[in-house]
Amino acid sequence: MRWQAYHTPESIDEALSLLNHYAGNAQIVAGGTDLILDVQQGNHAAPAALIDVTAIRGLDCIVEDGGWIVIGAAVTHAAIEANPLVRHHGAALAESCSVVGGPQVRNVATIGGNVAHALPAADGTIGLLALNAEVQVCTWNGVAVECAWQPLLSIFAGPGKNRLAANQMIGAFRFPVRAPHSSSAFDRIMRPQGVALPILGVAAQVQLDEMGRRAVAASIAIGPAGPIPFRATESEAILLAAPSLDEVAIEVAIAAAQRQAELRTSKHRASKEYRHEMVAVLLRRVLPKAIARAQAA
Ligand SMILES: Cc1cc2nc3c(=O)[nH]c(=O)nc-3n(C[C@H](O)[C@H](O)[C@H](O)COP(=O)(O)OP(=O)(O)OC[C@H]3O[C@@H](n4cnc5c(N)ncnc54)[C@H](O)[C@@H]3O)c2cc1C
């Protein structure tokens, strides 16, 4: 092996004091499906120690707590996909986690690793973003651990770069329980032989008025559509201002998303122009699905 020590702490305190002990020469690992490949492929120098967070008590739990669905950072995509609370309150997240890799990957890969790896197209991240999720960042202050909630988007610094400091880790994620007349959906376009990241992924959540016509809340997440996971805020504003969430409103919102998204050509996946078209294709699938679910709720 390329590292000298492999630790399996049972608490966040223990994990962060180990990180502190190695003074920047240790790395957190969960499922290892991003990190170990990165080390093997030479994209990431091998750290002296790996700190496996999957044995930490509570980090693998999903609970409802005070109006939030709280998901531990070490919960796997398979566990999220199958969880009744997530399926009911956050369909977009259940759907986005259900397409990550294949069953072997989903059984070990975690939502914490998906977010911490900070790729703008990461499926679980896009699902969380549309649900207005928050991330719990835990910090070792030299004496004890302090954990605080912050908006999910605040954790991303750029492609593959998060804003976590050397004395920090992700403890959990949370998103609000489903409001009345609201729902969400996710879909993506993947190359048939693709394994890791989609050409484009889109998640949306809408909350409707009592008549089921107007939007009183709307969020749209698209990836990759910029250096960090992207919220189509201009489309969201259009949906909120529309007298009815009909085809016309959806088409105007799509045009705004196409204007605002920073799409690029990637050698292995798709051209910028193709992605531009796929923004429309996916929003035409995802928005009506979220609206229909909200009307039926
Ligand atoms: C074959 C294959 C297919 C894949 N398909 C997809 C796909 O379809 N969609 C997709 O989005 N991804 C895909 N991935 C990428 C990967 O599986 C996911 O991003 C996964 O969620 C990473 O989680 P992990 O637990 O394995 O992370 P790890 O590899 O263990 O860690 C990844 C990074 O996160 C950090 N980290 C992990 N947990 C924490 C924490 N609690 N706090 C702070 N930092 C932390 C690690 O230090 C590391 O930098 C695929 C990967 C493979 C190998």
Asked if 169 and 78 sit in the same domain, the reply is yes
Residue 194: what pLDDT? Answer: 65
- Of 55, 82, 97, the residue at which a domain comes to its end is 55
Could you tell me where the beta strands, DSSP code E, fall in the chain?
Answer: 5-7, 26-29, 49-52, 62-65, 68-72, 134-140, 145-151, 156-158, 161-162, 168-176, 182-189, 200-208, 215-223, 230-231
Cα of 295 to ligand 1 centre, how many Å?
Answer: 35
Residue 42: what pLDDT? Answer: 86
Asked if 271 and 203 sit in the same domain, the reply is yes
Q: How far apart are CA 247 and CA 243, in angstroms?
A: 12
Mean pLDDT across the stretch 286-296? 97
Mean pLDDT across the stretch 19-48? 92
Number of separate domains in the chain: 3
To the nearest whole number, what is the mean pLDDT of the chain? Answer: 96
Residue 111: what pLDDT? Answer: 98
Asked if 165 and 197 sit in the same domain, the reply is no
**Ligand 1 atom closest to residue 124's alpha carbon, by position in its atom list:** 11
- Of 117, 150, 176, the residue at which a domain comes to its end is 176
Mean pLDDT across the stretch 117-137? 98
Nearest CA to ligand 1 atom 32: 113
Mutate which of 12, 16, 22, 35 for ligand 1? The one with the most ligand atoms within 8 Å of its CB, which is: 35
Beta carbon of 205 within 6 Å of any ligand 1 atom: no
Residue 255: what pLDDT? Answer: 98
DSSP state of 188: E
Asked if 12 and 96 sit in the same domain, the reply is no
pLDDT band at 1; cut points 50, 70, 90: low
**Ligand 1 atom closest to residue 30's alpha carbon, by position in its atom list:** 30
Checking if the pLDDT of 49 tops 70, the result is yes
Mean pLDDT across the stretch 64-92? 98
Higher-pLDDT residue of 24 and 242 is 242
User: Which stretch of 202-206, 248-252, 265-269 has the lowest confidence by average pLDDT?
Assistant: 265-269
Nearest CA to ligand 1 atom 36: 113
Mean pLDDT across the stretch 134-148? 95
Asked if 194 and 273 sit in the same domain, the reply is yes
Contact criterion met (CB below 8 Å) for 73 and 58? no
Nearest CA to ligand 1 atom 40: 170
Residue 217: what pLDDT? Answer: 98
Checking if the pLDDT of 83 tops 80, the result is yes
Domain that holds residue 223: 182-296
Checking if the pLDDT of 23 tops 70, the result is yes
Cα of 31 to ligand 1 centre, how many Å?
Answer: 7
Asked if 67 and 172 sit in the same domain, the reply is yes
And the tokens for 112?
């914490």
Beta carbon of 197 within 6 Å of any ligand 1 atom: yes
Residue 38 sits in a domain whose CATH number is 3.30.43.10
Beta carbon of 176 within 6 Å of any ligand 1 atom: no
Beta carbon of 56 within 6 Å of any ligand 1 atom: no
Residue 232 sits in a domain whose CATH number is 3.30.390.50
Cα of 124 to ligand 1 centre, how many Å?
Answer: 10
pLDDT band at 2; cut points 50, 70, 90: confident
Of all residues in the chain, the percent with pLDDT exceeding 70 is: 99
Mean pLDDT across the stretch 26-30? 97
CB atoms under 10 Å from CB of 167, counted, come to: 17
**Ligand 1 atom closest to residue 29's alpha carbon, by position in its atom list:** 30
What's the burial of 25, exposed, middle or buried (CB within 10 Å: 0-12/13-18/19+)? Answer: middle
Asked if 255 and 163 sit in the same domain, the reply is no
pTM exceeds cut of 0.95: yes
Checking if the pLDDT of 113 tops 80, the result is yes
Asked if 141 and 230 sit in the same domain, the reply is no
Beta carbon of 53 within 6 Å of any ligand 1 atom: yes
Q: How far apart are CA 46 and CA 25, in angstroms?
A: 9
- Of 15, 33, 55, the residue at which a domain comes to its end is 55
Cα of 109 to ligand 1 centre, how many Å?
Answer: 6
Higher-pLDDT residue of 44 and 184 is 184
Asked if 11 and 99 sit in the same domain, the reply is no
Write phi, then psi, for 265 (nearest 5 degrees): -85, 130
Beta carbon of 60 within 6 Å of any ligand 1 atom: no
**Ligand 1 atom closest to residue 74's alpha carbon, by position in its atom list:** 41
Nearest CA to ligand 1 atom 6: 196
Q: How far apart are CA 49 and CA 19, in angstroms?
A: 9
Mean pLDDT across the stretch 213-238? 98
Asked if 41 and 90 sit in the same domain, the reply is no
Asked if 76 and 33 sit in the same domain, the reply is no
Residue 44: what pLDDT? Answer: 82
Asked if 106 and 18 sit in the same domain, the reply is no
